[in-house]
Structure 1
Amino acid sequence: MTSSAAAPGPSLPAPADPWPAPRVVRPVDIVTSLPGSKSLTNRALVLAALADGPSVVRRALRSRDTLLMAQALTSLGSTVDTSGDDWTVTPGPFDRDAAVDCGLAGTVMRFVPPIAGLSTGSVAFDGDAHMRKRPVGEILTALRGLGVDVHDDERGALPFTIAGTGSVRGGTVVIDASASSQFVSALLLAGATYEHGVDVRHDGKPIPSLPHIEMTVSMLRAHGVDVDDSDADRWAVAPGPIHAADHLIEPDLSNAGPFVALAAATGGTVTVRDWPTTTDQAGDALRGILAAMGCDVRLDDDGLHVTGPERLTGVDLDLHDVGELTPVVAALCALADGPSHLRGIAHIRGHETDRVTALATELAGLGADVTEHPDGLSFRPAPLHGGVFHTYADHRMAHAGVVVGAAVDGVLVEDVATTAKTFPDFAGAWTRVTDGATRPAGA
């Protein structure tokens, strides 16, 4: 079976009644194509808006987060044509007052303020209610140190306003990026446009999700930007032009998580088309994680092939660099025949929700023997049962819910539509790939 996904509008639909997750009663055998990477799409949009000419973002992900980024850049003065599969971005003068809706998009909240400093207008930022709890103060403090006028009533959170002066001095700044790698990426993306560039130095606990900073550096270099990352915890971007460059967006490998986990949970086979042979995406770590849990994993010209085992093996994993994979991996750990321990993930408490507590709460509610730690989760084998799996408006939580629901009768996923944040029509795509291997509702 082959599936693909359609496109939503920029706003999350209102939560509906809990969605009955399809219960898979026989091994699946599917081939699927996935939407593009949100991380790559939003970085490409930012760089295109700052470039010295028009650029095209090919196979852009059309989701709430990316449409919010396109709207944000348009409000500043760029032109982003999102009418087709390939989005053309024409840089424009940042010469107007603007209001930026961050929604639940951390990339919008963190990547756009360093650009707003280049505007000659006043740029106001706000977002969904939960976004006022997500960390952004480190970036605002850094921007002040680089010469940007920031008004946030000293709260270090949304809402805030950037009063642009048309240029940013730039220079050296020391930050603590232990809460999010996006703090570093945000400053690097705009750094070449600053008068003295930007020299970002991290001072704190290890930075989570380092592959995302490596992704940022690779994309900057593709635009001709000089980036020195030869020293640990230091990234220096030289001042100069950001040349126009087109990007072909890879499939979102983190969004592949529930699909390849479906193979693991059912003992079936899933092939994800167009899986890149080399990539900076954190989701590529799924290959090693699934192999450690007993899956047969193979990458060839046709894509990534995952075949699940008869019994899932428990694992002991440090997910510090790939924390976004935790919800799906935790769901599989709850289904495994042996004990598991996931560690190094304290930083995901500051994601769309406190994912450590949310996972412990919701998986325990379905019968899992799970223990929450300050930086992780431990699992012991236990029989699971049905119930409502709450998502907390977090797309990755919904992914975890449907994985458990594939293996357990009666799992109802609350607000599955929150997946529109990064995956258009996820529920429809999931229904299509499980069709033919499911138990009819009420059976």
Structure 2
Amino acid sequence: MTQPPIADPWPAPRAHTPVTAAVSLPGSKSLTNRALLLAAIADGPSVVSRALRSRDTLLMAAALASLGARVDTDGADWAVTPAAFTADATIDCGLAGTVMRFVPPIAALSTGTVAFDGDAHMRQRPVGEVLTALRTLGVDVSGDGLPFTLHGTGAVAGGTVVIDASASSQFVSALLLAGARYERGLDVRHAGAPVPSLPHIEMTVEMLREHGVVVDAPSDPGGEPDRWTVSPGPVKAVDRAIEPDLSNAAPFLALAAVSGGRVVIRDWPRVTTQPGDELRAILTAMGCTVEYVEDGLAVAGPGTGRLQGLEKDLHDVGELTPAIAALCALASTPSHLTGIGHIRGHETDRLAALARELGALGADVTEEPDGLLIRPATLHGGVFHTYADHRMAHAGVIIGAAVDGVLVENVATTSKTFTDFAPFWAALFGAPQEA
């Protein structure tokens, strides 16, 4: 049945009683888009099972199709036939950082001209380090940010590149994902402040190895800090099942925390490279009870009156910051979130946006160069703006679950990683739910 139109701004549901629910999440965006890209450069066809169907992943599928791959997205399992890389193409990045950054290094293998553009907000996000690296490798690139164009010759020699990946781990992952298809492989060296979100690079390395690619990484015994090498060779076709998106679990587990309820996330993996797995430790530190159960992971919350503040460096898990900051604004003791200056370059300047929007609802927030200081305060209703950022929308609905009268502007931006998030979220309030 077609969902009714979503009001804008959307009245966020208020949890007047503890919420009890069991939730099946869509697949991981990070895993889905890496899997699709590797399937498109593999040595044969493969299937990506339980792929996330969202705007970002459909943009990735469309980008790969423009380069000559066949991606059948009709069902839950997406069949991929590798790309031919022979035609001119136009790539719409939308708001997907993985499309803007991951696709150019493989588009450089094309014999055609490949043009990239995206939504207006996307033009503010950094990609220059990837384009500079490609130029170093001999690729003809016009432009230093969206829009930009690659003029392919059908091959990339490969070799050594030095980049500053302090703004995004995706710069490293983008190059590593394509490196095996370059004639001499790739030697990526980082020079700059520490790379954020290292678990995402570890995810890339693990997936490459599962495809038979030889990768040397800093975390290996004897590995060299800030250096990754990829040997040239085939990318083996692999059928892959996608894990639930653990970062998307943040608002649902936060709902248990603020309502004093209990939420189970089904099929939570016991071993994973997803940064969202850090939610287990974060929520425990804030006073929640966290345990593996037969169905997945269960979180029982203390409720807003007993929720503890958090002092934590979120450098490696910056994408969790909006949801965690919202929880901290509802906590009974102060919080200090640090190591997250790099999230100023995400879909929006998330530090400034969080300070502004939480503050507008009464939160006591001090914005710092690389973090947020949040003190207990009485919150009130109002409009929470999202800046076309799905994680900001998550922060808004978390506040709305504990505070009357919160209106979330453009909640539909959550379709980036979770189609129909708003009705799904609203269905959790009231009687125990199976969602």
TM bin (shorter chain): over 0.9
Q: Which residue of 2 aligns with 1:401?
A: 396
Q: Which amino acid aligns with 1:21?
A: A
Q: Select which of 4, 14, 32 maps to 1:23.
A: 14
Q: What is the aligned counterpart of 2:35 among 41, 44, 62? A: 44
Task: Choose from 264, 278, 293 the match for 1:300.
Answer: 293
1:342 matches 2:337: yes
- Alignment map for 1:121-132 (pairs within 5 Å): 121-132=112-123
Listed one character per residue, the Cα deviations across residues 67-110 of structure 1 (whole Å, up to 9, x for unaligned) are 00000000000000001000000013110000000000000000
- Structure 2 gaps, min length 5: 218-222
Q: Please tell me whether residue 243 in structure 1 is matched to residue 231 in structure 2.
A: no
Q: Which residue matches 1:172?
A: 160
Tell me the equivalent position of 1:280.
273
The answer to whether residue 302 in structure 2 is matched with residue 309 in structure 1 is: yes
One-letter amino acid of the counterpart of residue 280, structure 2: R
Q: Are 1:100 and 2:91 counterparts? A: yes
Contact 1:7 1:63 in 2 (8 A): no
> TM-score by structure 2 length?
0.96
Q: Which residue of 2 aligns with 1:194?
A: 182
Q: 1:269 and 2:257 equivalent?
A: no
- Structure 1 contact 334–363 (Cα < 8 Å) conserved: yes
1:208 aligns with 2:196: yes
Post-superposition Cα deviations, 1:139-194, rounded to whole Å, max 9, x if no partner, equal: 00000111111011xxx210000000000011011100000000000000000000
TM-score (norm 1): 0.94
Structure 1 runs, 4 residues or longer, greater than 3 Å off: 13-16, 435-438
Q: CA deviation at 1:437?
A: 8.1
Is the contact between residue 313 and residue 338 of structure 2 (CA under 8 Å) also seen in structure 1?
yes
Question: Is 1:77–1:96's contact at 8 Å kept on the other side of the alignment?
Answer: yes
Match of 1:143 among 115, 134, 137: 134
2:220 aligned residue: none
CA distance in 2, matches of 1:242, 1:180: 25
Q: Is the 8 A contact 1:75 1:98 kept in 2?
A: yes
Given the alignment, which residue of 363, 371, 381 partners 2:366? Answer: 371
RMSD: 1.6
Q: Secondary structure at the match of 1:434?
A: coil
d(CA) in 2 for partners of 1:7, 1:89: 29
In structure 2, C-alpha distance between the alignment counterparts of 1:92 and 1:103, rounded to whole Å: 21
1:255: which partner in 2? 248
**Quick check: 2:173–2:204 contact (8 Å CA) kept in 1?**
yes
Q: Is the 8 A contact 1:367 1:384 kept in 2?
A: yes
Q: Percent identity?
A: 73
Q: Counterpart amino acid of 1:303?
A: G
Select which of 428, 432, 436 maps to 2:431: 436
Change (3 A) 1:99 1:326: same
Report the CA distance between 1:232 and its aligned residue: 1.5
Partners of 2:7 and 2:248 in 1: CA distance: 22
Deviation at 1:15, TM superposition (A): 8.7
Q: How far is the alpha carbon of 1:302 from its aligned partner? A: 1.5
Structure 1 position 129, deviation (Å): 0.6
Provide the C-alpha distance between the structure 2 equivalents of 1:214 and 1:433, rounded to a whole number of angstroms. 34
* Code of the aligned partner of 1:167: A
